[in-house]
Structure 1
Amino acid sequence: MHDFYFIILYGLILVVGGVIGFAKKGSIALLVGGSGTGFLLLLAGYLTLKAFKK
């Protein structure tokens, strides 16, 4: 299995965790920290997948 699958999965987990943390605690830091890092990992996974296809 290639590494970009794990990167994309972990990015999704972080985004969902950030949203759930924001919904439960109302903390903007949880939303920005979790979702921001998750979106960066999703972007990295997508770019890696795109490069792999070439």
Structure 2
Amino acid sequence: MARNKSKLKQLCNELPKSHAVNAEYIEADLSSPSSPQQLTTTTHHNNYLMSPKEETSK
């Protein structure tokens, strides 16, 4: 998450170079009540695969 578009774009460009991942960003106002549905719709429409973060043992 980032608060501005240029930081998101920069992160999406850096991630594939340092990790074996594809990265794209979705602009959304997370303070808006409709954002969760917007994000869900966008991820499903674009067939983005998302997996839950794995918990690490301490």
Report which structure shows greater RCO (CA 8 Å, sep ≥6): 1
TM-score by length of 2: 0.30
Return the structure number with greater helix share.
1
The structure number with the bigger radius of gyration is 2
TM-score by length of 1: 0.32
